[in-house]
Structure 1
Amino acid sequence: MKLTNEGIKDRAAWEAKGYSLPKYNREEIIVNTKQNPVWIHFGAGNIFRAFQANVVEELINQGVMNTGLIVAEGYDYEIIEKYNRPCDDLSILATLKADGTVEKKVIGSIVESCILDEEDEREIERLREIFRNPSLQMVSFTITEKGYKTRAYMDKVVGLILERFKAGAFPISIVSMDNCSHNGDKLKEAVVEIAKDWYNEGKCDNDFVNYITNPSVVAFPLTMIDKITPRPDDTVKKMLIADGVEGAEPIVTSKNTYVANFVNAEETEYLVIEDLFPNGRPALEKGGVIFTDRETVDKTEKMKVCTCLNPLHTALAIFGCLLGYNTIHDEMEDEALKRLVTKLGKEEGMKVVVDPKVLSPDEFLDAVLTKRLPNPFMPDTPQRIACDTSQKLPIRFGETIKAYRSSSSLSTESLKIVPLVLAGYLRYLEGIDDNGKQFEQSPDPLLEELKGLPAKDVLKRQDVFGVDLYSDGLAKKVLAIHSEMKGVGNIRKELEAV
């Protein structure tokens, strides 16, 4: 079973192994897309293939859309060269469900792949053609927040937007779908900064700056995206090979990207987008995407990041490292850790949750606790999630502390789980687990600096915790718990007492 246009013509072979295939004439979709592109996406990674591409797949299957997706890669060209093009841009999505079943699906909605390489005239000219086309409605990104700070990458993107301006100043929506706070604002800031620099250097007219700063013509909506898509899993690879799928062995590129003809992902997913599309947009709401106003997008992000998911992840990351766990789902088999994150979310977080209305915080949290974190198919690790913890604590816990302090009916004196997690972080910084053995902490820009400080001084760092922990009794409570955690076996004792 070969994942190519020719290979999937043998529908019976694929379907006999449980794979669903495109239900449309893919050649027609390819022609339509090349003539009238609607959506181009930068970042040919796993979340795009598992989420956005699958939404479009369903909409093409339903007849809601008659064009597909174009993907462009500007960081690791080997993704396109070694996976996309040899597979005719087809991909296998393995959805790993919490009940232990796997849904296997061939995705055909990505119909063209491009390389953002200005040194290759053929590649860059094709991208210019796409940007010059009035039909283009959306340019989206999953290149990580770091990508917007990479001048070489963003220079190329702004160059393509300049092509659109020169072709007729056509409207467009430029959409960050990266998992970072106020992502649209960060993307706009990067684009506008470059445009202004170019104007000052005489590389463009001020009219171009006016074009990209006019939200009725060029929009930068906020989004909130949530879906766990780990790198290709060995269990899934073996399953596909046993099915007879050729080329399922992942390739590691020279830039250390794991590339395979499949992507594995959890079933739960959320994409909430500020509805700013001056050139129109596809009817993605028919595929489960939520369109709303800016304030509501902001609230969904705060709900996720401050209460319903990210604080739980960080708590499991810290204690997972301290207790020697290697997977998040194994931690959720530990009754003490399961109780910890349940109380953190349901008892302490929910009292100050921001309710966005378009998503239910209770339902979101229940899915996290019962489906997402315990999913044995999702091989996420506490060590990965523990990366950059010092940068995450201000939002994931500092905002909850602020909300308690500003409430007329709540007090931080009632908090038990938040101080326990912060005490765990102090112990984590020491690099000694509950068995008294050393472990290597995950990468963090402040790690070496914080490791060198006494615990009482770490707690003075408002840049780490987002608040002054000494302005009430929180710091004292955290230090007391941390003191009880010293020695062998005492981290477990503190968790069991929750």
Structure 2
Amino acid sequence: MSQILSLQNLANLQPAIAKPGYRRAELRAGILHIGVGNFHRAHQAVYLDDLFNAGRDRDWALIGAGIRSGDRAMRQALEPQDWLSTVVELEPGANHARVTGAMVDFVPIGEDGRAIVQALDDPALRIVSLTITEGGYCIDPGTGVFNPEHPDIVHDAAHLKTPRSAFGVILVAIKRRRDEGLAPFTIMSCDNIPHNGHVAKEAVAGLADLIDPSLAAYVREQVAFPNSMVDRITPATTYRERAALVERFGVQDNWPVFCEPFRQWVLEDHFPSGRPSLEEVGVTFTPHVAAFELMKLRILNGGHAAIAYPAGLLGIHFVHEAMKDRLVRCFLDKLEMEEIIPCVPPVPGVDLQDYYRLIARRFSNPDVGDTIPRLAQDGSNRQPKFILPSTRDRLRDGADVTGLALVSALWCRYCAGLTDQGRPFALDDPNASRLTPAALAAREDASAFLSLTDIFGDLSKNPVFRSRFEAALSRLWREGTRATLEAYLGERL
């Protein structure tokens, strides 16, 4: 018989399921987290759960928060189960389940963020952490810098009492704490963005620039924004995962988390108001975060983008199935070894080719069940962060970009919304309404897509990139994905 997840039912769960070794009453909140999704609950919340189980730092529990209507669904799912989450680590042939209890509350969701601001009046909350996705940072994709003309920023600059962006909420809370003589909290980004701490800082300070230069100066001089690198493959939760949890472990969880066994967190140690002792549970504190971050964004996230679009066009649904496809796997191997890894700077203590081999094994894990549609979503935000920087670096060095341009061409072809077999699919991207018409027009004129300068920036005018992109896209439409990959791979097949 299955058990509904709750504090009351913890003792009734199967013995094989790991449970919190502490009482909820022993925890006090020290971190407010904006953007409670699967990744956060499989990553930061797990590290804190480990720390609390070790008897350490139980004044650093989590309070969840969100500012979008979609966050309301997560709060409604977790509230009946006392904010507990079941996390299933998908080791092939040996899945392991645990219940984490690091979250002790979840701020009520409002469209104006005032409940979060009020929660942050509590001086015990010394860190605000973020997983708001790459698209939540109000960055101009073409330049990679803060965009003061982003609609959310324009709104918050004019209506700061009712902010609708995470950074508007944070700025209001910083101002209130400053005015009340309280120390500012540290803002810890956990999103896949190069120099994510610096990017978050420019978003908060950039918004303040539009409102009050003295407040902007205070943000830049007094508020800490440590950089970080985070990593764990965490698929979306569907009926499949909920049913598997009941079948394998007898637990009814409204929103369980399934993830790979591997996890990594690299942090800059810049927390003036204190931090939990996360180094005790495997977090790496280093001044070299940027090196780890660049490695991960280029090799792992770039690798995800590289396989997502050809696999999607070929009608492949699961990531591990894509890795079994000889053409897709060989394409990834060649691209990584010849064009991506050569422009990744050295990382202390890491062999980059060994790191890639680890990534390939992780992508191939059949139990994770990660999907190609998840990897392919939000390409207009991900291409400028994961693929195009490598392209720029190689062009700067006079190196060829045939493979990287092919990735961009595959994305363009994918944005047309049709598989090679002619089956239509919905493009999951906030800019889908302009991407799809541009991609269809690019079948006859590639400049229709390359003219999206907010995405491609100066690359749209680079003759080498344009030539490689146009040739790849033409072949994709003329001969299909398999023939195009075969032509690229040549003697490697």
| TM-score for the superposition, normalised by structure 2 | 0.81
Identity of aligned residues (%): 28
Q: How is 1:433-444 mapped onto 2 (pairs within 5 angstroms)?
A: 433-435=419-421, 441-443=427-429, 444=432
Partner residue, 2:258: 264
Partner residue, 1:452: 441
Q: What letter corresponds to residue 4 of structure 1 in structure 2?
A: S
Contact 1:300 1:356 in 2 (8 A): yes
Q: What letter corresponds to residue 23 of structure 2 in structure 1?
A: N
> How far apart are 1:195 and its partner, in Å?
4.2
> How far apart are 1:115 and its partner, in Å?
2.3
> How far apart are 1:319 and its partner, in Å?
0.8
Contact 1:114 1:127 in 2 (8 A): yes
Partner residue, 1:230: 235
Determine the C-alpha separation between the residues in 2 that align with 1:376 and 1:177: 26
Cα 1:482–1:173 shift into 2, 3 Å: closer
Q: 1:179 aligns with which of 188, 192, 209?
A: 192
Partner residue, 1:140: 129
Instruction: Output one character per residue of 1:108-141: Cα deviation in whole Å (capped at 9) or x when no partner.
Output: 12123222549999x669614xx332x4431111
Instruction: Output one character per residue of 1:273-294: Cα deviation in whole Å (capped at 9) or x when no partner.
Output: 222111121111222222222x
Query: What SS is found at the alignment partner of 2:183?
Result: coil
Determine the C-alpha separation between the residues in 2 that align with 1:112 and 1:366: 40
Partner residue, 1:20: 18
Q: CA RMSD in A?
A: 3.2
Q: How is 1:93-132 mapped onto 2 (pairs within 5 angstroms)?
A: 93-97=87-91, 99-115=92-108, 117=110, 127-128=119-120, 131-132=121-122
Q: How is 1:391-406 mapped onto 2 (pairs within 5 angstroms)?
A: 391-406=381-396
Q: How is 1:278-357 mapped onto 2 (pairs within 5 angstroms)?
A: 278-293=272-287, 296-306=288-298, 308-357=299-348
Partner residue, 1:411: 399
More moved, 327-336 vs 267-276: 267-276
> How far apart are 1:21 and its partner, in Å?
1.0
Q: How is 1:20-169 mapped onto 2 (pairs within 5 angstroms)?
A: 20-29=18-27, 33=28, 37-67=29-59, 68-76=61-69, 78-79=72-73, 81-97=75-91, 99-115=92-108, 117=110, 127-128=119-120, 131-133=121-123, 135-149=124-138, 150=152, 151=156, 152-153=163-164, 154-169=167-182
Cα 1:358–1:233 shift into 2, 3 Å: farther
Say yes or no: does 1:191 pair with 2:184: no
Determine the C-alpha separation between the residues in 2 that align with 1:320 and 1:428: 10
Gaps of 5+ in 1: 201-205, 251-259
Instruction: Output one character per residue of 1:470-493: Cα deviation in whole Å (capped at 9) or x when no partner.
Output: 7565544444444444546x5323
Query: What SS is found at the alignment partner of 1:115?
Result: coil
Larger Rg: 1
Determine the C-alpha separation between the residues in 2 that align with 1:438 and 1:114: 40
Query: What SS is found at the alignment partner of 1:132?
Result: coil
Determine the C-alpha separation between the residues in 2 that align with 1:45 and 1:397: 25
Contact 1:393 1:466 in 2 (8 A): no
Determine the C-alpha separation between the residues in 2 that align with 1:209 and 1:469: 34
Cα 1:476–1:59 shift into 2, 3 Å: same
Determine the C-alpha separation between the residues in 2 that align with 1:302 and 1:61: 32
Q: 2:219 aligns with which of 212, 218, 241?
A: 212
> How far apart are 1:246 and its partner, in Å?
5.4
Query: What SS is found at the alignment partner of 1:44?
Result: coil
Determine the C-alpha separation between the residues in 2 that align with 1:105 and 1:275: 29
Query: What SS is found at the alignment partner of 2:68?
Result: coil
Instruction: Output one character per residue of 1:359-402: Cα deviation in whole Å (capped at 9) or x when no partner.
Output: 5433332222112x222233333334333434443443433333
Determine the C-alpha separation between the residues in 2 that align with 1:387 and 1:323: 16
> How far apart are 1:438 and its partner, in Å?
5.5
Determine the C-alpha separation between the residues in 1 that align with 2:203 and 2:408: 34
Determine the C-alpha separation between the residues in 1 that align with 2:212 and 2:268: 29
More moved, 440-449 vs 86-95: 440-449
| TM-score for the superposition, normalised by structure 1 | 0.80
> How far apart are 1:88 and its partner, in Å?
1.6
Contact 1:322 1:433 in 2 (8 A): yes
- Residues paired across the two proteins, number: 455
